[in-house]
Amino acid sequence: MMGPTHALSGALAWLAAVPLLQSAEVMQGHAVQLSAGQLAAGTVVCAGAAMLPDVDHHDGTIANTFGIFTRVLCKAVCKISGGHRQATHSILFALGAGYGAHWLAAHQEPVWWVLLFLLTGLGLRGLGIRIGANDAYTGALNALAAAALVFWMHDLDMAWAGYAVALGCLVHVAGDCCTPRGCPVLWPAPWRLAVPLIPRTNGRMEKWVITPILTLGVVVLAVRTAVGDEITRWLENAA
């Protein structure tokens, strides 16, 4: 699957998961209450995290997001992980990325802000923030927008960060499992899960069916979430 499809699926998954995260019953007494700012930030972060497993692709969306830095990063990860759609396309990677994000947000804020900048930039790129076909201008715009959003987020409680990153990575893996090549979901075990519902990456099914459905889903859930929050606040004020 292509970067925009992954980013949209991450945004959709986050918006769909928010009611579960805010449910004390589902979270066994550890519900995460999110403000409107946290909901918006989580949407962008989860969209970025939904592209993160492709950090093993030397010429994918991630590699072309921030110029030479991301190209070198992707080539290194590709070599260490055993190639594209290997270690980073697994449940173990998703859980490790989620825990790592949670730990960094709680204990190593400077490093977390760097990771947040990367995830935000990936989310924006995946969701279509670009200037024509010019990668240099697009990269500069992306970096400025990501920096502005990270600055806006710096006062937000990031208790949700680990959930958003893990969820985004899992959604990416699930999406790639719907292609003929599949993913080694139980890596380091070599077995690959493939349910080829999408015959070809960037084919007609992905461009004309999957992407429009995901886009519509994101819009519907975003409106539902925003309207639901407004109604809740109105009822609380009325009471």
Q: What would you report as the CA-atom Rg of the chain, rounded to the nearest whole angstrom?
A: 18
DSSP H helical ranges for 127-210 = 135-153, 161-176, 204-205
Q: Confidence band (pLDDT; 50, 70, 90) for 64?
A: confident
Q: What is the pLDDT of residue 229?
A: 58
Q: Taking the CA of residue 81 as centre, how many other CA atoms within 13 Å lie in the half-sphere pointing to its CB?
A: 24
Q: Answer whether 13's CB lies under 8 Å from 46's CB.
A: yes
Residue 238 has pLDDT above 70, yes or no: no
Q: What is the pLDDT of residue 134?
A: 57
What tens digit of pLDDT does each residue of 74-112 get? 999 999 999 999 999 999 999 999 999 999 999 998 899
Question: Side chain identity at 68, as an amino acid letter?
Answer: I
Residue 31 has pLDDT above 70, yes or no: no
What tens digit of pLDDT does each residue of 204-227 get? 888 899 999 999 999 888 888 777
Look at residues 6, 168, 36, 4 and name the one whose alpha carbon lies nearest to residue 101.
168
Q: What is the pLDDT of residue 26?
A: 58
The Cα–Cα gap between 63 and 95 comes to: 23
| Cβ neighbours around 20 below 10 Å, total | 13
Q: What is the pLDDT of residue 63?
A: 84
| Cβ neighbours around 59 below 10 Å, total | 12
Give, as one character, the DSSP assignment of residue 194: -
The Cα–Cα gap between 239 and 223 comes to: 24
- 114-123, 159-168, 189-198, 227-236: which has the minimum mean pLDDT? 227-236
Q: Which residue has the tokens 């949700």?
A: 160
Q: What is the pLDDT of residue 8?
A: 93
Residue 203 has pLDDT above 60, yes or no: yes
Can you read off the two tokens belonging to residue 224? 């539902």
The SS3 call for residue 117 is helix
**Domain assignments of the chain as residue spans, ordered by start:** 3-238
